[in-house]
Amino acid sequence: MLVYSSSRLRVALLVLLAASLPPALSAASAWRPVDAPGGLERATALALDDGRLAAGGERGVAQGPREGPLLGRVSLRGAVRELARARGALWVASETGLWRIGPGGARAEVLAPGELARSVRDVAAAAGWLVAATDAGVFASERSGAWQRLPALPLGPASRVEALEVDGGVEVWAAIEGALWRRDARGAAERVVTAGAASGEEGVVDLALDPAQRLLVLRARSLSRREAGGVWRSERLVLPPGAAPQRLVAAAGRLWLATDAGLVGADGLAGPWRRASAPVGHSPVLALAGDARGLAVATSRGLFLGPGRGDAAAAPVAGRVASDPPVQAVHRAALRHLELEPRRMHHLMRAVGWSAWLPELRLGASYDEGEGGSLDYDQAFISGDKRFLTDRDVDHFTDYGASIALEWDLGALVFDADRIDVSREARLVAQLRDDVLDEITQLYFERQRVLAALADPPPDASPAALRLRAAELAAGIDAWTGGWFSAQLAGGRHRSAPTR
């Protein structure tokens, strides 16, 4: 476990270092910088719809036309967390409350008394409804009415919320304390488990709607979609090494994920997930919004607007670069180095089966030392006198003993309780092995794409930067394999993974 955790942290640090390098996987950038008032270049929330762009951050909110600069900053207290446009106004979820910014300026909305209700995490709109996720639960305003807590939903802190119009009313979905909850149009609520999500996975990261008004649920390692009839389809996320998903948007005909290692996109639920072009593809994404025409992306380098649909990373490399060993050999080397081969658990399970036939051996030894004796009394008459005679007999003894006992537990031949412990350990090892192989696969094929780009560098890429990136990825693979990968590259031939 320690090897895996430290290596994963190292990969994340390497990816963050790569943010300063030119992108290796894309053509000329189509992203246009957006001018924003001071303090909003690193926006924490974005809204893009109706031909208008809005950005919010630590110093308030600014709006403007889609193709023009953001102007007229409205100062607000507290960091902005989410933006939504509805009822002719811009709604701002912030750490100090829910704000309505309209033609008359900014106005604070009172959801409920208390500090928890003023900490608003998300806001969504549908069919005249507004729904807000707060640290005190989920609140809603129906068609310009007063704010009320949605009954039937838990009172715990809600991080994300989504609303969609259905026959008979509005359906509300919320992430409450990491769990997914649904409140139907009739007011009944239930906790929902998305079938197919990764085993033991963490809570909900984000909620979104696709153009067909189907709910998308983002978790740390999987993406789920609610199909017609309430059936769930889930796919495992295979992202660039070290990338952690933070936000999800369905826009410009694609799915987009904001990660701490850059913006990635895919044409469908199953991926493949590829980096966007520079500068958003390798910069940590702070906020993301989109519509049918494109995306607005706030990164550590600034705010950008792009077409989205035509922006995609280079296609996967059809075959591996000849200088590298096959990925299967890299997998075997890593498993041997980390001692995660499946045969080890098979041997352990087999040993548990044979252990029931072996008896429990008990050896014993004893030592005893002591003495014993007897007394005999007699009387005698000699010359008229009575005499008393005593005979005494004394024995000393020393005893040594040894014992051997064999004991069989015949019940273990039918069921051995140790099998439960071995089975539990096998599941943990299998999960760790799967994570290791997934990490290595991502490192390996990203290196393949970098090497392919190095053979035919894009116009905006530096060959020196590409070579540095390839070496960086090779170092990550080398750490997983205990130096085997670098030995293969130096030796020029691809031997099988080392055995112990």
Q: What is the model's pLDDT at position 134? A: 96
Tell me the pLDDT tens digit for each residue of 153-181.
Answer: 999 999 999 999 988 789 999 999 999 99
DSSP string, 84-101: EEETTEEEEEETTEEEEE
Q: What is the model's pLDDT at position 309? A: 54
First-to-last C-alpha distance (Å) of the chain:
20
The torsion angles phi and psi of 27, rounded to 5 degrees, stand at -85, -170
- Asked whether the predicted pLDDT for residue 283 surpasses 60, the reply is yes
- Asked whether the predicted pLDDT for residue 253 surpasses 70, the reply is yes
Q: What is the model's pLDDT at position 322? A: 54
Q: What is the pTM of this model?
A: 0.62
CA distance 218 to 207: 6
CA distance 303 to 206: 21
Tokens linked to 147: 């704010």
Which of 195, 138, 204 lies closest to 170, judged by CA? Answer: 138
323, β-bridge pairs: none
Contact between 30 and 310 under an 8 Å Cβ cutoff? The reply is yes
Q: How far out from the chain centre does Cα 201 lie?
A: 7
**Domain 26-306 homologous superfamily, CATH:** YVTN repeat-like/Quinoprotein amine dehydrogenase (2.130.10.10)
Maximum C-alpha span of the chain: 150
Domain boundaries, given as residue ranges, for the chain: 1-25+315-358+415-500, 26-306
Residue 121's SS3 state is strand
CA distance 290 to 248: 10
**For 224-233, 273-282, 456-465, which range has the lowest pLDDT when averaged over its residues?**
456-465
**For 82-91, 117-126, 218-227, 323-332, which range has the lowest pLDDT when averaged over its residues?**
323-332
98, β-bridge pairs: 93, 109
Tell me the pLDDT tens digit for each residue of 402-429.
Answer: 889 887 776 666 666 676 777 777 778 7
Tell me the pLDDT tens digit for each residue of 340-384.
Answer: 887 777 777 777 667 767 777 888 888 888 777 777 777 777 776
CA distance 297 to 284: 10
- Asked whether the predicted pLDDT for residue 19 surpasses 70, the reply is no
